[in-house]
Chain A
Amino acid sequence: MVSDAVTVAREEASPSLEGPRRALPAILPVAMAIVSSVSLLLLVQTSGMTTTGYEVKRLEQEREDWQQANYQLAAEVAYLKSLPRIEKEATSRLRMVPATDYLFVSVAKSPEVSGDGDPPLVQTKRPTVGRDDGWSQELLDWLGSALGLRDR
């Protein structure tokens, strides 16, 4: 009874094993293609990541280089604006000499200089003490009124 049952089972099983055996030549290339594709994708991704990593590093270095160049340029600008350099340029190239005497002169206050900006280069209000009403002042007053800067 037992052997009969086994025989029956074998007989029943044999047609179902035939299917995969027949399908194997078709599945194998597909599986290989899938595995290859996945591997390729992984390789591409890994390679892309590596490239991006190097690119990021390169860009960081580039940023660092530009930043350092900026600091260097800022220092150069500071040297060019420094007082020793200005003095050297003024005396050696432009042949300027230090001012030994100076005068404050009164001029009319123009609308442009009024407001809360930096102090004007020249005094805008005539001092009450030490007022000089000589010919020069009269000339200045006349010029001022002629140019419409002040009322006569």
Chain B
Amino acid sequence: MSRESKIERWRLAVIILILAGSAVGLVLRLGYLQTVEHDSFVKLAAAEHWGKQEIVPHRGTIRDRNGYVLATTVTTFDVLVDPKASLTPDKIAKTASLIAPLVKLPLDQVRSALQSKGDKPALLAAEVPYETGSQIAKMQLAGIEARKVTKRVYPEGNLAAPLIGFVGRDQRGLTGLEADFNRELMGKPGTLVYERDTVGEEIPLGYREESRPQEGADVVMTIDRFIQRLVETELDKAMKKHNSSSATVIVMEVKTGAILAVANRPSFDLTKPNLEDNSKVNLFRIASITDMYEPGSIFKVFTMAAALEEKLVTPATPFKCTGVVYKNGWAIRNWNGAAHGNETMTDVLKNSCNIGTVWVGDLLGADRFYKYVKNFGFGQRTYIELEGEASGQVRTNKSGGWAAIDLAANAFGQGISVTPLQLVTAFGALGNGGKLMRPYVVRQVVDGGGTRDFDPVVVRRVLSEDTARTLTKMMNVSGELGTGNLASVPGYRIAGKSGTAQISLKGGYTGDTSVAGFAGFAPLADPRVVILVRVDEPKDIPWGSSVAAPLFKNIMEQTLLYLRVPPTEPGKVGKPAW
């Protein structure tokens, strides 16, 4: 065999080897793809072939107790122009003439928007009504895009903003009721599974399976929009008048615990919540349930209630106020530094006498006092349906670090922290014949399947009816010269108590600021509403009787009128003008 033929044979052998190797490689690769990678390719193929789409249900509506809409959802369209479309002048003119009347914009504005240069679509008209937007989308005009936008709207404006809360871009609740009742409001999303073609469009006769979404339920609150608006208006006026840093008002139905209004100031704009500024995030809280404070003299009524219930005192029990009492080496004085002299227990409340209340606290003793404090619901959550509720802070004689001075201070509302909601709920129990109600803010959830009602719940009986009636008479502020007389409402008998609390800091109190408060219910004979007013750091006058009581009076007067509660006292009855 010649050398050349040998080389040829070698070459042939190499080519055969390469081809055989390639063939083996291909077979192995195919085997690998068909076996090891089988599942992932099946998934890829299915993903290409099957389309799945979530059908978002319509978010439910939040209503007030009379059915008026406070928050609802509508779908609108944003109309955008796409500068990449590169339209001819004729096309621009034609498109502009078609779009301008629909989006209610001047023809020139639409034309210049269509002529503009850029990379991204630019907004031409926002929140175009659904019908018009849908019409624009169906026109399929080059350079024009109509995008569906789901939007939460608030017909009553920013009414009860922290309570209602707001939703995110995905229409899920972020704060307030929107978050706490998100599951009910959101409903259940549906799904659509379909076969699609190579460009991703649904095949008309292909497989299609649709499960319809379950629309979101409507949440009916106990809030009354009229009372809520009244409260917010009066709160704004008071904040301005006293230049205070913040304020809270709660209006509650005495017999049920239903919250008719709850307002905090400062507040925020529901349509534009500022999530970027950390200092504004606090505004999203429902301060009435999350923020604690020392209630001050308002708390004296609970000390008195306990002593009356235990039959340790009667309204006429005498006491001599010397103006000062010493506990653990600390001197306790009256709010005005005065000595009230001979007083009855009714006078102790009327004069808001610290010394008399300390004496009553001593009569009760720590065990009995803290038993009543707990029974009135302090130091524990009320279990209202809202998240973030604080339980308050009560240091009892069973807690570490407790001293006799604590009992004395707690008796007149210092050294104890409560939430405004706890305070108004406990005060309501006095007007409700001694029965403590669970506060609630949602009375009904209505969905396609039916209605779920939230009924009033009696937590416990704290006082006997007799004690509650006796205490109510002792708290009558109508026409009296007690600290709450500015709270008097002509034509009605009111039971109430003012309080001026110091603001606690670590290891003491601020010297120059206070929390002015007033709590009361009316009418005395058959209480309908209980109102708590709290005004923080008023700059002109510090006293609850001067700052909070008039605000209480304005709200109570108009609330009773609105609720058609007839007056029982002279002043507003039976003198027609004709």
Instruction: Please list the residues of chain A having a beta carbon within 8 angstroms of any beta carbon in chain B.
Output: 46, 49-50, 53-54, 57, 65, 67-69, 71-72, 74-75, 78-79, 81-84, 102-106, 119-121, 123, 125-127, 129-132, 134, 136-137, 140
Q: A50-B204, A104-B573, A140-B576 are in contact. Are A72 and B74 (CB under 8 A)?
A: yes
* A126 pairs with B130, CB closer than 8 A: no
Give chain A nearest CB distance to B464 CB in angstroms.
26
CB neighbours (8 Å) of B157 from chain A are 82, 84
* B567 pairs with A104, CB closer than 8 A: yes
Contact of B74 among A75, A129, A132 (CB under 8 A): A75
Q: A69-B130, A120-B564 are in contact. Are A103 and B575 (CB under 8 A)?
A: yes
Cα of A125 to Cα of B568 in the assembled complex, Å: 11
Is B156 part of the binding interface, using a Cβ–Cβ cutoff of 8 Å? yes
16 intermolecular pairs with C-beta atoms under 8 Å apart: A68-B75, A69-B131, A71-B130, A72-B129, A75-B155, A78-B155, A81-B155, A82-B68, A102-B561, A103-B573, A104-B572, A105-B575, A106-B574, A125-B566, A127-B566, A132-B574
CB neighbours (8 Å) of B69 from chain A are 74-75, 78, 81
* B573 pairs with A83, CB closer than 8 A: no
Q: Interface digits, B61-98 against A, CB 8 Å rule (1 contact, 0 not)? A: 10000001100111110000000000000000000000
* B75 pairs with A123, CB closer than 8 A: no
* B156 pairs with A82, CB closer than 8 A: yes
Cα of A121 to Cα of B564 in the assembled complex, Å: 7
Is B359 part of the binding interface, using a Cβ–Cβ cutoff of 8 Å? no
In residues 250-306 of chain B, which contact A (Cβ within 8 Å)? none
CB neighbours (8 Å) of A81 from chain B are 68-69, 155
Which residue from chain A places its CB closest to the CB of B130 in the assembled complex? A68
Which residue from chain A places its CB closest to the CB of B69 in the assembled complex? A78
Q: How many residues of B contact A (CB 8 A)?
A: 39
Other A-B contacts than A83-B226, A136-B574, 5 sampled, CB-CB below 8 A, are A65-B130, A68-B130, A72-B74, A75-B72, A125-B566
Chain A residues touching B, majority SS: helix
* B574 pairs with A65, CB closer than 8 A: no
CB neighbours (8 Å) of A134 from chain B are 575
Is B400 part of the binding interface, using a Cβ–Cβ cutoff of 8 Å? no
User: Nearest 9 pairs between A and B by C-beta?
Assistant: A78-B69, A130-B570, A132-B574, A78-B155, A123-B566, A82-B155, A68-B130, A53-B204, A79-B155
* A46 pairs with B205, CB closer than 8 A: yes
Is B39 part of the binding interface, using a Cβ–Cβ cutoff of 8 Å? no
Give chain A nearest CB distance to B213 CB in angstroms.
12
Give chain A nearest CB distance to B430 CB in angstroms.
22
Which residue from chain A places its CB closest to the CB of B206 in the assembled complex? A53
Give chain A nearest CB distance to B566 CB in angstroms.
4
Give chain B nearest CB distance to A9 CB in angstroms.
53
Interface centre among A67, A106, A130 (most CB of B within 10 A): A130
Give chain B nearest CB distance to A14 CB in angstroms.
52
Is B36 part of the binding interface, using a Cβ–Cβ cutoff of 8 Å? no
CB neighbours (8 Å) of B553 from chain A are none
Is B444 part of the binding interface, using a Cβ–Cβ cutoff of 8 Å? no
Contact of A65 among B73, B131, B156, B159 (CB under 8 A): B131
CB neighbours (8 Å) of B350 from chain A are none
Q: A83-B229, A102-B561 are in contact. Are A71 and B155 (CB under 8 A)?
A: no
CB neighbours (8 Å) of B159 from chain A are 83
Q: A130-B570, A132-B574 are in contact. Are A75 and B564 (CB under 8 A)?
A: no
* B131 pairs with A104, CB closer than 8 A: no
* B576 pairs with A130, CB closer than 8 A: no
Which residue from chain A places its CB closest to the CB of B564 in the assembled complex? A119
Is B497 part of the binding interface, using a Cβ–Cβ cutoff of 8 Å? no
* A136 pairs with B576, CB closer than 8 A: yes
Cα of A69 to Cα of B156 in the assembled complex, Å: 21
CB neighbours (8 Å) of B73 from chain A are 71
Cα of A102 to Cα of B75 in the assembled complex, Å: 44
CB neighbours (8 Å) of B229 from chain A are 83
Give chain A nearest CB distance to B404 CB in angstroms.
46
Is B435 part of the binding interface, using a Cβ–Cβ cutoff of 8 Å? no
CB neighbours (8 Å) of B225 from chain A are 83
Cα of A137 to Cα of B578 in the assembled complex, Å: 11
